[in-house]
Structure 1
Amino acid sequence: MLGDESTAVEELTVEELSERTGISVRNLRFYTTRGLVPPPTKRGRSAVYGREHVARFELLQDLQAHGLNLAAIERYFEGIPSDATAEQIALQRVTLRPVTAGAGLSLRSERPARGVPADLLRDMDAVFARHGKAMAAELETLFRESLWPAYKSGELQADQLVAMLDNWEHSGAAALVEAFSAAINEARREIVARRSGS
């Protein structure tokens, strides 16, 4: 679950942080000098990184995976308080992830679909993308109107909200697949009924 690795972090050297995040030491230092991540804490002669650093670098990687360039990432990070906790930063990651992640609905495949022309697959992908954006917008509204006020009022703690949204994502993906399958079956029944009535 999101946040499990971050919460296990105590203090890491830059080399350990690089190993944990998969980001080169050079890039870790570059992002720090750009102000995306607070400077490390000094422990004698050593510089160490904590949970908040790990969480910020994980968020940065997610933003890059969403196609944001460095300037856009810097603007995004401007909205995150410098004293944000690892859990608060993890919330940012959860709200970035599409509800359909892992649902396996993409029609793109390593091998061509049996007998389906490539241009038809592209058109079908466009339908999924268009409706996926509409669903994401509606679900974001649901989140904003239901869970977010409870978090802001203190009824939900950050770790509770992260866990809830993580579970919501996985159950939502399964529900989406089920709803899609039911809709396809209903559409087929309607086609059969129309043909049999003509």
Structure 2
Amino acid sequence: MSVDELSAAAGLTVRTTRYYASLGLIPPPERRGRMAWYGEEHLARLEMVRALQGHGFSLQSIEGYLSSLPPGSRIEDLAVRRAMLASWTASGPQDLSRRQLDEHAGRRLSDEDLALIEEIGMLRRTDTDRGPRYTPAHGFDVTMRLLDLDIPVEGVRGAALAISRHMGALAEELTDVLRADVLVPLRSQRLSRDEAERVEQTLAALRELTLEAIVTSFQRSANEVITRSLSRR
């Protein structure tokens, strides 16, 4: 592929692709005279970069991760790794100014609002040369709806921290299961490109089913708590 074709396949502009190449995020192209040619490995690396960016990693962090990969990593192995890194949400992280954050929230946020939203993990602030920048977490919109309800702030804080604590532990345990029981066995096999793509599709479907299972499990558990409470009464 030419750099134009590579960029189109990765969903990037040519300028961005060249910038990533200058950072060493993809290996040098094959030179034939004055032309530079790129292959499937370059595309797999760019797709990995986009997957990591979807989790909010900086380019510096991504560079460190890619440099830690075993030399000669096969395209299929990169595809499996990328499938593991794929975001559980459709949209990537946002980088907003204070004015843009207020527009995103639909109202002017007070300093107290910002402090609370940061405390419960729904907002990350980064101080830059351009001033403070804000990255809303997935769930920010739900937090805004909670703040609009006529309930004490302590109730919002307590509920949010409880959800964060238990979901963090659940996500870590499920990731360990996925890694040990699914990905490790797969990496021991010599997957073809088609097989690696099927693994990506399988993991994408598994993410959807897991989210549905979590909601269903919570509903069942909540009903059991209510039933026990009524029985005690």
Q: Provide the TM-score with structure 2 as the length reference.
A: 0.63
Could you tell me which of 219, 222, 226 is aligned with 1:188? 226
Matched residues, percent identical? 30
Q: Deviation string for 1:145-187 (max 9, x for gaps)?
A: 3223422432876615434433322221221121111122222
The count of residues paired between Structure 1 and Structure 2 equals 181
Where do 1:18-33 residues align within 5 Å? 18-33=7-22
Q: Deviation string for 1:91-130 (max 9, x for gaps)?
A: 22222246x647xx94733972573548444543333222
Go from structure 1 to structure 2 and tell me whether the alpha carbon gap of 1:34 and 1:187 turns closer, same or farther (over 3 Å shift): same
Question: What is aligned with 1:91?
Answer: 80
- Relative to its length, the structure with more strand (as a share) is 2
Q: What stretches of structure 1 move > 6 A for 4+ residues in a row?
A: none
Partners of 1:72 and 1:44 lie apart in 2 by: 34
Question: What is aligned with 1:115?
Answer: 149
Partners of 2:152 and 2:8 lie apart in 1 by: 40
Partners of 1:155 and 1:19 lie apart in 2 by: 28
Deviates more, 1:119-128 or 1:82-91: 119-128
- Unaligned regions of 5+ residues in structure 1, if any? 1-10
The alignment partner of 2:36 has SS state of strand
Partners of 2:11 and 2:191 lie apart in 1 by: 32
Partners of 1:51 and 1:116 lie apart in 2 by: 55
Question: What is aligned with 2:205?
Answer: 167
Asked if the contact 2:76/2:191 (under 8 Å) is kept, the reply is: no
Could you tell me which of 120, 125, 137 is aligned with 2:160? 125
The alignment partner of 1:109 has SS state of helix
* RMSD, aligned α-carbons: 3.1
